[in-house]
Structure 1
Amino acid sequence: MEMAPHAAECDQNDELRLTISCKAKKAVACSLNLPFEILNKYGSQKRLRSGKRIEMKHFQMKRSNGPRSEIKGDNTSSSQVLSASCIVRMAKTELIQFKNRKTDDFSNLSNNLKLSLSLLDAAEKFSRQEYDEAEKLLNFVLLDSHADDHPITRVVAFFARDLRERIDSETGKLDLEREVAHVDMDKALIDLKDAIHTCEQKLPFNQIALFTGIQTILDSVGSAKRIHFIDIGQKLGSHWIVMMHALANRKDCPIEQLKITAVCTPKDDIEECGKLLSSFAESMNLPFIFKILHSEMYELEKDMFELEKDEALAVYLVFSLITLSASPKNVDSLIKGIKNLNPHIMVVNEIEVNINGSDFIDRFHESLFLCSAMFDHLEDYLERDNQCRKIMEKIYFQAIIKNSVMTDDEESFKQCCKIDFWREYFARFGIVETELSQSSMYQASMLIRESGCSSRFTLSMNEKCMLLGWNGTPLRSLSAWKFTA
């Protein structure tokens, strides 16, 4: 699958031009309003109609006032400093020019550009098995990069460490019997979950994708009085609150029953989340049932879900495909299980990146662009010494980097694929892509404007799929699917 150049992706000319009818705008206003306002309204410790008090901290979201404008050491605001994504694109272009001039003298360049060039050059030398030359460049990168500096230095340091470890492995320098520090995986997972919760509260990118998916589902179920929502993926809560609020305020066709089934592993503790949602539903006079299904995603069976004939069934997948993608057999099982449920609609929210190819350089570049854009996003909204930010960088993005750098065994890759791949994959199961509603597209554009960071977002379409990006790099895909007989 041919990938478009990242430079082209950065061009603002491909930004989505949305023409929304008054009807679509009215539909959004009636069904969803502003999710940031809803979550802020139902913030911490609101008193419910039952007289109970409920701690809503996991669902709290304050509307962003835009990216941080922290003043750097050189008295330049963050909005005026080149982004990590931009520096990587410049470095890739410069490297081609240096090759043409047959020189590797980077001395006249800025430090950040020099670091990026050195990393890219080291990756190419590694791919040609020029290990000594590659290692010299990586040592320079690691010596000159600082963990608390510009996001590009944080990114290149992560990549350089893993690439140097890969070289040590290839050259026999890696001591496989060396003592490895013990890692408390349970604590690491708890820390990661807490970090994700914090990012959900502070990063508008996540909400825009989640809430647009919810708007798509609300539009698809139309005037259904009984709705069954099956959530397979991240259990963070905010999108459930927004959906419940929208349905509770539906005047033309009052809801008779909303059922949410959360599919999760036994390690996921969401019982308290269910209690909070039930209390919220009570406060809104919303007939509500919350079910927790402890099951692996690839072991779903129809009789697990207590389906009812007169309910409109919707399935929401959030990062489920990438979670299972190390085993294509498990992805097959998940999709077959969902197909057997015969839902009215399936909405898929996934990472938009292709790092599963056999070519090392392609994988390396793709993951570098992805992580640079995400580190830029974190830089704009979280302080550099924020512990949750450090956890996200160290645990979450490090896994992506290792996946692209540490092995050439295709069987071990996470199948981090773009929408073009999933479109062909779903077609094998008789699953066809359907149009996102006008109101859901309007919802996305409106939330981008309300988030205060519209200049950094990229909103575009790939056929019927919406792509959300940051600083010109697509990062997330949102698509809707129908099941044929």
Structure 2
Amino acid sequence: MSSSCVDIEDEYQDDCDFSDAILRYIDQMLMEEDMEEKTYMLQESLDLQAQEKSFYDVIGKKYPPSPQPESALFSQFGEIPDAYSYVNPHSLSHSDSIGNGNLSDVVNPRWINSTLYRDASFVGCIPTDHTLNSSASKSNSLHNVADIFLESPISPLQMHEMHRGSQSEEANKFLPGENKFLISVDVNGFLARNSIEESVKGVIEAGKKDEVEECSPSQSKGKKNGHNFDSDFEERNSKLPAIYAESDVPMEEFDNVLLISSGEHGEKFAAYRADLQYAASKSMQCSGRPKGSGGVKRRGKKQTRKKQVIDLRTLLISCAQAVAADDHRNANELIKQIRQHSSPFGDGSQRLAHYFADGLEARLAGTGSQIHNALVNRRTTAADYLKAYYTYLASSPFRKITNFASNKTIITKSQKAMRVHVIDFGILYGFQWPTFIQRIAARKGGPPKVRITGIDFPQPGFRPAEKIQETGCRLAHYAEKFNVPFEYNAIAQKWETIRMEDLKIDKDEFVVVTCLYRGRNLLDESVVAESARTAVLNLIRKINPSLFIHGVLNGAYSTPFFVTRFREVLFHFSALFDMLETNIPREKQERLLIEKDIFGKEALNVIACEGWERVERPETYKQWQVRDLRAGFMQVPFEREIMKGAIYKVRTCYHKDFVIDEDGHWLLMGWKGRIIYAISCWKPI
């Protein structure tokens, strides 16, 4: 290996999102006591938006609501802030936690039965520049309060009153039977029945206990104040009922976090990736199926000489055409044939056909939105999601290359800046930023002050910003470890309603805006005349950042014409399922979660939902390029060293069928010739 290749490899390892530091960052998330109970945050927030229009129609209000007027209910509690800030002056207080779980259990085949990650937790941060202990966005209205009871005419507050004392018997008269209170849909084992009793119990107990914990630079444990929900109702202007489980155990300290990866976790990650590739290859050989056959299915030992070749792709397209024509008889017959030759445990094509059949069946029955909502509300724990995320990163280079290119670009462009402000549209768990903080801490002359504004859609319930606040607290703890001056600002509201003053931009800051693969969830012109995508891009242009890094999911299945959209989404997910088939063993539980809870759910939304309820609306990177240019940006190329490092890593460490290429100034990534992701860098004109 040449010395230049070694240098590139070293550079990549330093910026890789799975250095020692980022692995410990994810370890911390897995160690949280209530992580097993928390759902993946994105799945709830997107469903919240999809439900808004129908809910406002029911209560007789115009949608979309104005961001200025607040709910009459919330106005009784006083002013509610738009954003939540956290400042880290290197004085966080922590204590050792009890658990012994760590990310290495993912590599261990016995991790599935592990009971780790339940003995320690993280205390959510409370904003330092606001007096409220609970929070909601101004754009958040009554639908956030009653989100989990949208199917019922009874709000959680009314329900709590009816369950008090002598009123409980009278309340039971108005409550429908358990089997009618919440609609549960089960499509071929896709969904589990939801229990309404747990939801009601959670709301009632939350109203009684109303416990709120605080995490600030001066303390790690907050006070627990029990409060009767109905007493002094009008005087309670500083607290709102909490429905999230809070933790009694503070955040576990990172014990041996190194400035630069020591290689231990990197070697383990590389070994895990190699094991996945070997096991996947062996699994395909043992199955006796030629690679890429897609539809061959043997009919027992006696029929080994006869192979029934089923073209599942043709069956799916024919079924979609029948569904579009409202031909129930033909569509049901085709779905029956697809069911006979598909399975969630078969090869990649069979799994794809199984989940697409779910979508077609839901569209035919007109239950797409109900099934999607039930899928979103299903309790997939964040811990399980993180384990699947780790496996996904080991099997594909998409996210790792994205983080490498964006972090390296920001650090290179901001070399002389003493204040760096990153505005992240769609921050989620913030996996990208621990490595960024680690790298910028080693900058010559000392690190700059880093401000991160984390933006995401509001979560259902009383605390729409709770989870992105927790992300900020973790990042603050991480910045403290590397002595990086840090400030975090959380904004939980619709992106198109964000105002300049919410972002708190200072004049002397090097401002960077990132939006990585989440623009597809914004509504386009086919739904609303004033596109949310245009509004967000105009906001970013108004910010006038020094750098705008834009990552897009390259897809052409946002068209309103169903059959055309179905063909495109079929081709798109065929590449993704084939990628998993080639790189992850079939029996791997993490693969099942990725296919069912992520890819399967997204495909169902595209196939079975329309209008406001269809939240998956990707466009091609060339379409986004037109939007960016129209908004007043000009494209700038990535540094050649960054491009060389990304290409080298993909071609030397991952399967040969992964694609990495350039088109203009876009960095393209895909599988077997199909471009799936694209990332580019822009600056205002």
Please, what TM-score do these two structures have when normalized by structure 2? 0.55
Pairing 1:248–2:432 present: no
Sort the Cα spacing of 1:186 and 1:165 in 2 relative to 1 into closer, same or farther, 3 A. closer
The alpha-carbon deviation at position 466 of structure 1 amounts to 1.3
Q: 1:160 aligned to 2:352? A: no
CA gap of 1:298–1:133, structure 2 versus 1, over 3 A, is same
Structure 1 residue matching 2:467: 3-state secondary structure: coil
Q: Tell me, yes or no, if structure 1 residue 320 matches structure 2 residue 528.
A: no
- 2:19 corresponds in structure 1 to 37
Q: What secondary structure is seen at the aligned counterpart in 1 of 2:278?
A: coil
- Write out per-residue CA displacement over residues 318-351 of structure 1, whole angstroms, 9 at most, x where no aligned residue: 2331111355522222222222211111111221
Contact in 2 for aligned 1:231/1:262 (Cα 8 Å): yes
- How many residues align structurally? 431
**Secondary structure at 1:68's aligned position in 2?**
helix
Q: Which amino acid in the other structure matches residue 117 of structure 1?
A: T
Q: Equivalent residue for 1:199?
A: 388
Q: Alpha-carbon deviation of 1:456? A: 2.9
Partner of 2:312: 115
User: What CA distance in whole angstroms lies between the structure 2 residues aligned with 1:413 and 1:459?
Assistant: 28
The 3 A distance-change label for structure 1 pair 196 and 361 is: same
Q: Could you say which residue in structure 2 is the equivalent of 1:460?
A: 661
Contact 1:24–1:442 (Cα < 8 Å) also in 2: no
Give the one of 472, 485, 490 matched to 1:292: 490
2:680 is paired with a residue whose SS is strand
Query: C-alpha displacement at 1:354, in angstroms?
Result: 0.6
What are structure 2's unaligned runs of at least 5 residues?
29-89, 96-251, 256-264, 297-304, 459-463
- With over 3 angstroms needed to count, the CA separation of the structure-2 counterparts of 1:233 and 1:33, relative to structure 1, is closer
For the Cα contact (< 8 Å) 2:669–2:676, is it kept in 1? yes
2:429 aligned partner, one-letter code? L
Alpha carbons of 1:163 and 1:233: their partners in 2 closer, same or farther (altered >3 Å)?
Answer: same
1:226 and 1:256 in contact (8 A); partners too: yes
The residue identity in structure 1 corresponding to 2:19 is E
Q: 1:301 aligns with which of 499, 504, 512?
A: 499
| Residue of structure 2 in register with 1:423 after alignment | 625
Q: 1:219 to 1:409 in 2, by over 3 A?
A: same
Shift in Å at residue 460 of structure 1? 1.8
> 8 Å contact 1:228–1:260 — kept in the other structure?
yes
Is this contact kept in 2: 1:87–1:116, CA < 8 A?
Answer: no
Structure number having the greater helix percentage: 1
- Quick check: 1:456–1:470 contact (8 Å CA) kept in 2? yes
Whether the 8 Å contact between 2:372 and 2:601 is mirrored in structure 1 is: no
Separation in 2, partners of 1:436, 1:79: 44
Whether contact under 8 Å (2:476, 2:488) holds in the other structure is yes
Check the 8 A contact 1:212/1:440 in 2, yes or no.
yes
Aligned to 1:222: 415
Q: What pairs up with 1:36-75 in 2 under 5 angstroms?
A: 36-39=18-21, 42=24, 44=27, 53-54=252-253, 62-63=269-270, 64-66=272-274, 67-70=276-279
- Alignment-mate amino acid for residue 216 of structure 1: T
In structure 2, the CA distance between the partners of 1:200 and 1:218, relative to structure 1 (3 Å rule), is: farther
Partner of 2:559, secondary structure, is: coil
Conserved 8 A contact 1:356-1:363: yes
| Alpha carbons of structure 1 residues 352 and 255: separation in structure 2 relative to 1, 3 Å | same
Paired residues for 1:11-22 under 5 Å = none
Question: Match of 1:120, as an amino acid?
Answer: I
The answer for the alignment partner of 2:634 in structure 1 is: 432
Q: Distance in 2 between matches of 1:184 and 1:212?
A: 37
Alpha-carbon distance between aligned partners in 1 of 2:17 and 2:615, rounded to the nearest angstrom: 36
1:263 is matched with which residue: 455, 474, 481? 455
Q: TM-score, normalised by structure 1?
A: 0.75
Q: Measured at CA, do residues 167 and 287 of structure 1 come closer, stay the same or move farther in structure 2, by a change above 3 Å?
A: closer
Q: Percent identity?
A: 20
- Report the alpha carbon displacement of residue 434 of structure 1 after superposing the two structures with TM: 1.7
Taking the TM superposition and a 5 Å limit, the aligned residue runs for 1:328-407 are 329-380=531-582, 382=584, 384=586, 386=588, 388-406=590-608
What's the secondary structure of 1:366's corresponding residue?
Answer: helix
Q: Could you tell me how far 1:133 is from its partner in structure 2?
A: 4.1
Residue range with higher mean Cα deviation, 459-468 or 437-446: 437-446
- Which deviates more, 160-169 or 65-74? 65-74
Partner of 1:137: 334
